Structure 1
Amino acid sequence: MTKISRTFTVKPAPATVIEYLKDFSHATEWDPGTEACDRNGSGPVQVGSTWHNTSKIAGVSTELTYELTELTDSRVQFMGSNETARTTDTIDIVPSGSGSEITYEANIEMSGAARLATPFVKLVFEKIGSDTEEDMVTVLNRL
């Protein structure tokens, strides 16, 4: 399993951050690997909502289904999966002055033959983690 974690601060208050981040279709704005992310279904975004995500990582395109598995006033969590990988993205948001402190943690588990790529996956996702932090700060500070 590969674990990537970043902690950073942004200007908006936690409620604003959570309202934005709970809709995973916004990943196209803050996740550098996401090329498209479309919600399955309609209605309010809530635990159980799902998205079809297309990403390109290290030149390889992949598609995952993401599900919102936890939504509280301080946490947003998504689980994504396909035949070769499962990811859990946990975003904890707490007050920090007039803004928010965010801890973003991604746990990626490869399966089958893809498991052999785990050391490479760690290197790639460390870079993506830094890029995600930079993009997320920029996007959230515009809210």
Structure 2
Amino acid sequence: MIKVERVMHSDRPRDEIVAYMADFSHAEQWDPGTITCRPVSANALVEVGAEWLNISSFRGRRTELRYELTRMSDDRLTFVGHNKTATSTDDLHFEPRSGGTRITYRAHVEFHGIARLATPVLKREFERLGDEVSEQLPAALRQALGPSAPGPQQF
């Protein structure tokens, strides 16, 4: 299994970030590998059990995973994606911090069958993707949610 973890900070309040991140179709903006991510059902609500079809590019190949929102709370979101080659879990934790929110992003990828043999070789590539997420996610939040209102000035 490949495990990647990154910690980021946003100046936006936790509830705004969780509401944005709960709609996994926004992965198009913050996940560097995602090409498209669409809800499986046209009238799907963003709640536990909601599903998205994610098409990504990885090492020059397109791959399709069906993701499900398996956990949703004020401080945590978990999405689990499946296809015949892999199971991918994106687990996000949100902690209020002075001036915003601390975001902990954990990705776990478990390859199935013969694809498991590639796990050691692909670890480095997933670490690189984790680095890109840590840059793109805060930028996507700023663009989608806007800059935080300035706090009171201190003299």
Query: TM-score normalized by structure 1?
Result: 0.97
Aligned residue pair count: 143
Partner of 2:120: 119
What are the within-5 Å matches in structure 2 for residues 93-132 of structure 1? 93-132=94-133
Q: Distance in 1 between matches of 2:78 and 2:135?
A: 20
Q: Secondary structure at the match of 1:93?
A: strand
Where does the alignment leave 5 or more consecutive residues of structure 1 unmatched? Answer: none
Question: In terms of mean alpha carbon deviation, does 40-49 or 105-114 score higher?
Answer: 40-49
Amino acid in the other structure paired with 2:66: T
DSSP-derived class of the 2:52 partner:
strand
**Partners of 1:82 and 1:76 in 2: how far apart?**
20
Structure 1 residue 141: Cα displacement: 2.2
2:98 pairs with 1:74:
no
Matches within 5 A, 1:27-66: 27-41=27-41, 42-66=43-67
Partner Cα distance (1:43, 1:36) in 2: 17
Query: Over the residues paired in the alignment, what is the CA RMSD in angstroms?
Result: 0.8
Cα deviation 1:9-45 (Å, max 9, x = unaligned): 1111100000000000000000000001010112420
Q: Give runs of ≥4 in structure 1 deviating > 3 Å.
A: none
**Aligned residue type for 2:90:** D
Query: What is the percent sequence identity of the aligned residues?
Result: 41
The answer to whether the Cα contact below 8 Å between 2:10 and 2:102 also exists between their aligned partners in 1 is yes
- TM-score, length basis structure 2: 0.90
Larger Rg: 2
| Distance in 2, Cα, partners of 1:138 & 1:103 | 15
Task: Give me the whole-angstrom Cα distance separating, in 1, the residues matched to 2:45 and 2:5.
Answer: 29
